[in-house]
Amino acid sequence: MRDIFEIIRARHSSRVPFDPRRRIPDLDRRLILEAARWAPTAHNMQNFEIFVIDDEAILAAIAAIRVPPSDIFLRENYDQLSFSEEELRRRKTGLLATLFPAAWRTPHPKPGDALAVQHSLGGTVQPCPMLLIVVTDTRKRAPASEGDVLGIMSLGCVMQNLWLVAEALGVSMQILSALSGPQADEGLRRILDLPAHLKVAFACRLGYPVAAPETHPRVRREVADFAHHNRYGNREHPTTGLFLLPA
């Protein structure tokens, strides 16, 4: 097994098409699902179910679902984009704009724009041999958790376990948030026979890239940018590791 920190650093979103003919081995699939099984959840409520989609007809039906554009996504996504590698390195957060289609790089689509009309999920659910759709059981809620934040954190733990074990096994993965939006809900309920108490939390496509992905800068804040020792403003020095009192 690779070192856990190596796996954490190597984990990334793979946005390229995967080879739909190269199936994920059954053992690897079981290990990925076993990782989800052992994810920590608030009060051990295990508020999730996972749909494993590898049937070509069902994958095609999901890809064919048509959804309208989300102005909220465009606006909030735009605020986090960097339009040059230099800007991205300076900000240390967000994403490079070129990772998204040109039509997504403006906060407000205009009538007639490519994104201002309904489009299918096919551009999101690119070719892949397997799709995992993680749904949450709305009947289960973490006690005294405002907005069920602990239940949402639990789903995040499931996502992280899936991703780290997939990375350890050499399986590429990309999280798909578009499938959890209200625009896709009706189509997914029909295709998956989803009962009313289950709601899509997130989906992820898994597989093996057909070509080497493009390389982009990966940025993270330094520990000193987010860590505070005992009280706000006591920062860790980036080289010595000593905590510095605020000036």
How many residues are recorded in the chain? 247
Domains held by the chain: number: 2
pTM of the full structure = 0.86
**Strand bridging mode 243-244 / 48-53:** unpaired
SS3 content of the chain, % helix, strand, coil (to 5): 40, 15, 45
Do 130 and 236 reside in the same domain of the chain?
no
Tell me what pLDDT residue 215 has: 78
Going by C-alpha positions, the residue among 227, 212, 50 that lies closest to residue 130 is: 50
Do 148 and 230 reside in the same domain of the chain?
no
Tell me what pLDDT residue 66 has: 86
Do 191 and 127 reside in the same domain of the chain?
yes
Tell me what pLDDT residue 243 has: 60
Do 242 and 189 reside in the same domain of the chain?
no
Do 159 and 197 reside in the same domain of the chain?
yes
Cα 40 to Cα 123: distance, rounded to the nearest angstrom: 33
Do 150 and 54 reside in the same domain of the chain?
yes
Cα 38 to Cα 61: distance, rounded to the nearest angstrom: 31
Do 169 and 244 reside in the same domain of the chain?
no
Tell me what pLDDT residue 139 has: 93
Please report, for the domain that includes residue 25, its CATH number.
3.40.109.10
Tell me what pLDDT residue 107 has: 75
Tell me what pLDDT residue 76 has: 85
Going by C-alpha positions, the residue among 125, 200, 205, 201 that lies closest to residue 156 is: 201
What one-letter code names the amino acid at 70? Answer: S
Tell me what pLDDT residue 110 has: 64
pLDDT tens digits, residue range 136-147? 999 998 899 998
Do 156 and 174 reside in the same domain of the chain?
yes
Strand, helix or coil for residue 148: helix
Domain membership of residue 128 (yes or no) is yes
Tell me what pLDDT residue 115 has: 53
Going by C-alpha positions, the residue among 44, 28, 6 that lies closest to residue 150 is: 44
Do 187 and 236 reside in the same domain of the chain?
no
Ranges of beta strands (E only) in the chain are: 48-53, 66-67, 81-82, 95-96, 119-120, 130-137, 172-176, 198-207, 235-236, 243-244
Q: Which domain holds residue 227?
A: 217-247
Q: Using an 8 Å Cβ cutoff, are 20 and 127 in contact?
A: yes
Tell me what pLDDT residue 177 has: 85
Tell me what pLDDT residue 245 has: 59
| DSSP codes joined into one string, 190-229 | HHHT--TTEEEEEEEEEE-BSSPPPP-------HHHH--S
Tell me what pLDDT residue 125 has: 83
pLDDT < 50 stretches in the chain: 117
Spell out the residues 6+ positions from residue 103 whose beta carbon is closer than 8 angstroms to its own. Answer: 109, 113, 114, 115
Domain membership of residue 92 (yes or no) is no
Tell me what pLDDT residue 126 has: 82
CB-based burial, 74-111: b 16+ in 10 Å, e otherwise: beebeeebbeeeeebeeeeeeebbeeeeeebeeeebee
